[in-house]
A and B are shown apart, each in its own frame.
Chain A
Amino acid sequence: MNISASQSALDFAGKGAERIAELFYWMTGGAIVIWIVVIGLAVYAVMSRRAHPVRMTHWLVIGGGAVIPTITLTALLSYGLAMLPELQEPAPKGSTTIEVAGVRWWWRVNYLDPSGGRIVTANEIYLPVDQPVEFKLTSEDVIHSFWIPSLGGKIDMVPGRTNRLKLHPTREGVFHGVCAEFCGEAHAQMRFRVVVTDQNAFDEWLETQSQASKSSSEMAEGEAMFLSRGCSACHTIRGTSADGMVGPDLTHFGSRLSIAAGVLDNTPQNLARWLVDTHGVKPGVEMPAFESLSGEEVDTLVRYLGALQ
């Protein structure tokens, strides 16, 4: 698996992640100091051959157990909670708004068009750099949690509710997102990719996503097979008669970086493997394995899907 992308909360590329990383380093430093002092004292107490007066230790208990912790914790709370409003405030009106629904075990992604329409994709999110983005997060089955560590904190996707999250990427690149709440058998493989680009590239990408797939004569055979083999019962490819809603929209599948919700890089070999050994790649997944396809048929489908740019 080709990983140049980051999944680290400390390798930050977003405003939220940056603030939280800073908080993390401060707290870690403080914790180390406190630990050394307390343990040093305990070791001294055990090693020391001298019996210390009881009166003195009363001050120790009050000072070390109550006064110093109260001061430290108050300072920490003021510093830590002060960043809460900033992290929680919604993105300004007019920001890119993206609806993401968690589905066992993939992500349904809709970009809200300012005109009110929805631009549908799945398992991959493009974001413009240096722009706040508003997410509206739901679940279609169990509880999931939407997390892009390099950009900011996570928030759960709870059935019956819509949670929101603002992210503000500050650096271009490809990042990993994951489901952080245990959601069943393939929880470990519920992943996605996030591509942060400049505004132009983003607009271009979104424009492409909003269109139906282009078809050509070379694709006719693959399209026919996609429809006849039952793929269209679950998957939509706009511009064809495939309009299934159960699985991810595949209209621009060929342009995506990964398959099976961030599990495999999108290469022809991996795609062929996925079609035949579906449950070997991702145990528990709802998609049936198409073992009955001949090698040639697999090639045809792989070529077709790859051409869906």
Chain B
Amino acid sequence: MNESAERLLKAWRTPKGWRYWSAVNNSKIGLWYTITAFGFLLFGGLLALVMRIQLAFPENDFLTADQYNQVFTMHGSVMMFLFAVPILEAISILLLPEMMGARDLPFPRLSAYGFWAFLIGGVFVCGSLFFGAGPRGGWFMYPPMTTQYQTGVGADIWLLGLSFIEIASIAAAVELIVGVLKCRPPGMRLNLIPLYAWYILVVAVMILFAFPPLIAGDLLMELERALDWPFFDASRGGDPMLWQHLFWIFGHPEVYIVFLPSIALVAMIVPTFARTPMVGYGWIVLAAVGTGFLSFGLWVHHMFTTGLPGITIGIFSAASQAVAIPTGIQIFCFIATLLVGRVTRSVCLLFVLAGLATFIIGGLTGVMVAIAPFDYQAHDTYFIVGHLHYVLVGGTIFPIVAGFYYFYPLITGKQLSERLGTIAFWLMMIGFNVSFFPMHITGMIGMPRRVYTYPAGMGFDNLNLISSVGAFVLAGGFVVFLWDLLRPKGGQPTAPRNVWNAGTLEWLAEVPDQPWGVRSIPIVESRYPLWDQENFVRDVDEGNFYLPDAEEGLRETLVTSTVEATPIQCLRVPGPTFLPMWAAAFTGGVFIFGTFHWYIMAGVSGVLAFFTILAWLWTGTAIIPEKTEKNVGLGLTLPTYVSGPAAVGWWAMFITMLGDMTAFMSLVFGYFFYWTVHEDFPPKDVEGPGVLWPLVSVFCALAAWGLMLLSRKLNSRKNGSLFYVSTLTSVLMTFAAAGALIAGPWLHNMDPTEHVYQASVCVLVLWTVIHLALGAVMQLYAVARRAAGKMTHRFNADIVNVTLYWHFMMLTAGITGLTIALFPLVS
């Protein structure tokens, strides 16, 4: 190993001993994340077996009704929130940088934070089951059952524990979007990026817009549970349907959020075994994007039986059919690729085919239930249980198993057994179909979902027994698979490099793998550079491309432009630290203590989280480099510090704020939903917040925003005094805006527990005030950075990002003020 390689290795080496857990590199975080998510899959699977034991016989008493209700609630919640979404983020964190020849994702500490948050939140939520305190309202948590008729902490654990994990999911989504857009190798234009990256981009954007409505819904429900704000209480003007809308605006895209990444794995596997590039690359990308868009227009098909007007039902029925078309195009592209190539058979491909055969059945029954009249019968029956498992097991789990067989050698250097894989395949295929196919019939002959038992002699008995037997055969398949993963492989020869002879960059990984990812960051000219570019592997290995060295001993990767992927920055990414772990533990504390109403502990935990995150930002972001530019190889010199839209930090802020605005708009949607649906909103005899104070607030926020624009300009002066004056004045205006906003409802004695109108106004005020407080913290942070010499007239990323936050802040404050002040006048 030459000197440059040694330096590179030193910079990227994973810490040893207990410090191992301070690693933040994508290869470690991604691995832990994958293992944890897989662990939750097994837990969710055990819960399913417990349910199948209970349902094997009519009027069985293996579980009580209450235990069964907790178990089915947790099965759904674990599989969706703790397995399906996290595993796709885990696999992406692990593999995406490798597929793009990057050394790491742009925000390693954020990935680490997301992982620890996921682990803590997941264990907390699952643990509740062992104390009989689990949530018992179904994974859909419909109020008013979950607001007024379930005491105990179960529902709070669901709301707060899973909100915490949803926030971590959004963090990962931000990371992945920026990763795909900014961290590609030079030359990898948008039309050359691996299909996996396209899918992940689409999915991450979907997460960004789908999760916030759910988080807004969680907030409303927790406010009703904890403080009695009647958002879903019909007797005080609330409406349980608002929750259903918010939940399914999240819930339907969610199906595609878990399905598309698995198809993405298939899109990597199929060309490899067909030995030919994917047919219809452009169609697949369009289809993936189209699916993403359409999936946001289908949520009402989960609500066909709630009594909506026929026209609404017709429109959503048609839209739900339409999504079958992009899905069909993707499937036919895969088949076309298999036709074009000469196929090498393997266990991987068996699982891909299993996924296809299973998923298509789920898709076809999906088309059936999307026809509203049929849904009137099928809805909430075992037909749906059958349908959704064909979709999710076929569309998610089988492709993921295929992905495990495919990528296992890349991660561990050892291959999985084809023989054990074939046994696992047959057990899973037979077990799955024996278990779930009869459910279609069980449902059609009238068995509803979510029943802990059923009467004997109704025709349900044999079908349920068959389903239960099948479930155990399926579980047997997983046991074989798990054994294959875990069995000692010491005696087994290591797999050759690029064992499947694939064409994409992740297969540059050496055996055994090196922590640096790639020896040098290549120039890419093809979708399958390992197949098409001459001497490619040798050039990468010999360090003939970019960044083959770490002269300063720092971890570095390339940032490229969004469309053309021309190099624009040499990005220094942070190395090992425990800060994200502590930050996650303390943020977790806020949610966990909050669940039990231990508000002092929650407050202390919140303060600790706040300072930990500040320390993390202070020490890890926008660091002024020792030299402003550096030679990255091949005669190219790149800046080491950029700000504005060229910087990954700017993109992260921008994308995060899009998600934040989506949550806010969901709350605004709530306000207008009540107005549309209820004649007495706002109620005649109730005083609103008035016009004066909300408008004063808007004015102050406007001033604060204007001053921030000024501050950004003033920061470019060498003398910082005017910058300080402007920014500190802006802080004062921020406080004034918050004060005026609170004054409106306060001075008019609006009691949020009285009617949903007051509650809706107060929740908008609450949201905005919290954001103003956060805005003030950022303003003060910028002042402190400049005072400490961490931000200068030239190195201005902090103030640029804070101002970006303020653009969105202004929108939030403006919409809140104008809505609560003026809307009562026109309605």
A contact residues vs B (CB 8 Å cutoff): 1, 3, 6-11, 16-17, 19-20, 23-24, 27-28, 31, 34-35, 38-39, 41-49, 51-54, 56-58, 60-61, 64-66, 69-70, 73, 76-77, 80-81, 83-85, 87-88, 104, 141-143, 145, 147, 149-150, 152-156, 158-161, 163-164, 176, 178-188, 283-284
B contact residues vs A (CB 8 Å cutoff): 64-66, 69, 136-138, 142, 144-145, 148-150, 234-235, 238-241, 276, 279-280, 283, 287, 305-307, 310, 313-314, 317-318, 321-322, 324-325, 328-343, 345, 349, 353, 356-357, 360-361, 364-365, 367-368, 371-377, 379-381, 444-459
Give every chain B residue within 8 A of A35 (Cβ-Cβ): 357, 360-361, 364
Residue in B283, B330, B364, B450 whose beta carbon sits within 8 Å of that of A182 in the complex: B450
Bound CA–CA A231/B449 (angstroms): 33
CB-CB nearest in chain A for B280: A61
Contact yes or no, A65 B329, CB < 8 A: yes
A179 to chain B, nearest CB (A): 7
Q: Indicate whether A187 sits within 8 Å of B451 (C-beta atoms), given known contacts A20-B377, A39-B357.
A: yes
Give every chain B residue within 8 A of A57 (Cβ-Cβ): 279-280, 336-337, 339-340
Give every chain B residue within 8 A of A49 (Cβ-Cβ): 342
A61 to chain B, nearest CB (A): 5
Give every chain B residue within 8 A of A6 (Cβ-Cβ): 446
Q: Indicate whether A65 sits within 8 Å of B333 (C-beta atoms), given known contacts A49-B342, A284-B66.
A: yes
Bound CA–CA A158/B245 (angstroms): 14
Give every chain A residue within 8 A of B334 (Cβ-Cβ): 42
Give every chain A residue within 8 A of B343 (Cβ-Cβ): 45-48
- Count chain B CB atoms within 10 A of each CB in A24, A85, A88, A182 and give the residue with the most: A182
Bound CA–CA A44/B340 (angstroms): 12
Bound CA–CA A156/B136 (angstroms): 20
Contact yes or no, B340 A52, CB < 8 A: yes
Bound CA–CA A61/B307 (angstroms): 39
Given pairs A54-B279, A73-B322, A176-B446, 15 additional interface contacts (CB within 8 A) = A20-B373, A24-B368, A24-B444, A52-B340, A57-B280, A61-B333, A65-B287, A70-B325, A76-B321, A87-B376, A180-B449, A182-B138, A182-B142, A184-B149, A186-B65
27 contacts between A and B (CB under 8 A): A9-B445, A24-B374, A41-B335, A42-B353, A45-B339, A46-B338, A52-B340, A53-B340, A57-B337, A57-B339, A60-B336, A64-B335, A65-B325, A84-B373, A85-B310, A88-B310, A153-B376, A154-B305, A158-B307, A180-B380, A181-B142, A184-B145, A186-B65, A187-B451, A188-B451, A188-B453, A283-B64
B367 to chain A, nearest CB (A): 7
A302 to chain B, nearest CB (A): 22
- Count chain B CB atoms within 10 A of each CB in A38, A160, A187 and give the residue with the most: A160
Contact yes or no, B371 A80, CB < 8 A: yes
Q: Indicate whether A155 sits within 8 Å of B321 (C-beta atoms), given known contacts A27-B371, A180-B380.
A: no
Bound CA–CA A23/B361 (angstroms): 17
Give every chain B residue within 8 A of A141 (Cβ-Cβ): 144-145, 148-149
CB-CB nearest in chain B for A46: B343
A11 to chain B, nearest CB (A): 8
Bound CA–CA A154/B383 (angstroms): 14
Give every chain A residue within 8 A of B317 (Cβ-Cβ): 77, 80-81
Bound CA–CA A54/B444 (angstroms): 43
CB-CB nearest in chain A for B445: A8
Residue in B376, B380, B454 whose beta carbon sits within 8 Å of that of A188 in the complex: B454
Residue in A16, A28, A81, A149 whose beta carbon sits within 8 Å of that of B371 in the complex: A81
Instruction: Report how many A-B pairs have Cβ atoms within 8 Å.
Output: 269
Give every chain A residue within 8 A of B325 (Cβ-Cβ): 65-66, 69-70, 73
Bound CA–CA A10/B443 (angstroms): 10
Give every chain A residue within 8 A of B364 (Cβ-Cβ): 31, 34-35
Contact yes or no, B452 A188, CB < 8 A: yes
A1 to chain B, nearest CB (A): 5
Contact yes or no, B377 A153, CB < 8 A: yes
Contact yes or no, B342 A51, CB < 8 A: yes
Residue in B149, B279, B374 whose beta carbon sits within 8 Å of that of A58 in the complex: B279
Contact yes or no, A61 B452, CB < 8 A: no
Give every chain B residue within 8 A of A54 (Cβ-Cβ): 279, 340
Bound CA–CA A57/B278 (angstroms): 11
A131 to chain B, nearest CB (A): 20
Contact yes or no, B374 A81, CB < 8 A: no
Give every chain A residue within 8 A of B238 (Cβ-Cβ): 160
Q: Indicate whether A46 sits within 8 Å of B456 (C-beta atoms), given known contacts A54-B279, A154-B380.
A: no
Give every chain A residue within 8 A of B374 (Cβ-Cβ): 20, 23-24, 27, 80
Contact yes or no, B142 A143, CB < 8 A: yes
Give every chain A residue within 8 A of B379 (Cβ-Cβ): 153-154, 180
CB-CB nearest in chain A for B279: A57
Contact yes or no, B328 A66, CB < 8 A: yes
B331 to chain A, nearest CB (A): 7
Contact yes or no, A142 B450, CB < 8 A: no
Contact yes or no, B360 A24, CB < 8 A: no
- Count chain B CB atoms within 10 A of each CB in A19, A43, A80, A150 and give the residue with the most: A80
Give every chain A residue within 8 A of B136 (Cβ-Cβ): 185
CB-CB nearest in chain B for A59: B336
- Count chain A CB atoms within 10 A of each CB in B365, B376, B454, B459 and give the residue with the most: B376
Contact yes or no, B455 A3, CB < 8 A: yes
A257 to chain B, nearest CB (A): 14
Bound CA–CA A66/B317 (angstroms): 18
Contact yes or no, A39 B356, CB < 8 A: yes
Contact yes or no, B142 A145, CB < 8 A: no
Give every chain B residue within 8 A of A46 (Cβ-Cβ): 338, 343, 345, 349, 353
Residue in B65, B138, B148, B448 whose beta carbon sits within 8 Å of that of A283 in the complex: B65
CB-CB nearest in chain B for A38: B360
Bound CA–CA A109/B48 (angstroms): 37
Give every chain B residue within 8 A of A7 (Cβ-Cβ): 445-447, 458
Bound CA–CA A73/B318 (angstroms): 9
A299 to chain B, nearest CB (A): 26
B24 to chain A, nearest CB (A): 41
Give every chain A residue within 8 A of B455 (Cβ-Cβ): 1, 3
Residue in A11, A56, A70, A185 whose beta carbon sits within 8 Å of that of B66 in the complex: A185
Give every chain A residue within 8 A of B342 (Cβ-Cβ): 49, 51
Give every chain A residue within 8 A of B330 (Cβ-Cβ): 65
Bound CA–CA A88/B308 (angstroms): 10
Contact yes or no, A65 B331, CB < 8 A: yes
Bound CA–CA A43/B377 (angstroms): 34
Q: Indicate whether A73 sits within 8 Å of B240 (C-beta atoms), given known contacts A3-B457, A51-B341, A158-B307.
A: no
B270 to chain A, nearest CB (A): 10
Give every chain A residue within 8 A of B338 (Cβ-Cβ): 42, 45-46
Bound CA–CA A283/B65 (angstroms): 7
CB-CB nearest in chain A for B150: A184
Bound CA–CA A180/B138 (angstroms): 13
Bound CA–CA A84/B746 (angstroms): 49
Residue in B240, B333, B365, B372 whose beta carbon sits within 8 Å of that of A81 in the complex: B372
Contact yes or no, A77 B445, CB < 8 A: no
Bound CA–CA A301/B148 (angstroms): 34
Give every chain B residue within 8 A of A53 (Cβ-Cβ): 340
Contact yes or no, A185 B446, CB < 8 A: no
Residue in A10, A143, A160 whose beta carbon sits within 8 Å of that of B444 in the complex: A10
Contact yes or no, B310 A80, CB < 8 A: no
CB-CB nearest in chain A for B64: A283
- Count chain A CB atoms within 10 A of each CB in B317, B328, B454 and give the residue with the most: B328
Give every chain A residue within 8 A of B381 (Cβ-Cβ): 180
Contact yes or no, B456 A1, CB < 8 A: yes
Bound CA–CA A44/B279 (angstroms): 17
Bound CA–CA A169/B328 (angstroms): 40
Q: Indicate whether A61 sits within 8 Å of B329 (C-beta atoms), given known contacts A46-B349, A77-B318.
A: yes
Contact yes or no, B377 A24, CB < 8 A: yes
- Count chain A CB atoms within 10 A of each CB in B307, B325, B365 and give the residue with the most: B307
A304 to chain B, nearest CB (A): 27
Give every chain B residue within 8 A of A45 (Cβ-Cβ): 335-336, 338-339, 343
Bound CA–CA A62/B714 (angstroms): 57
CB-CB nearest in chain B for A264: B455
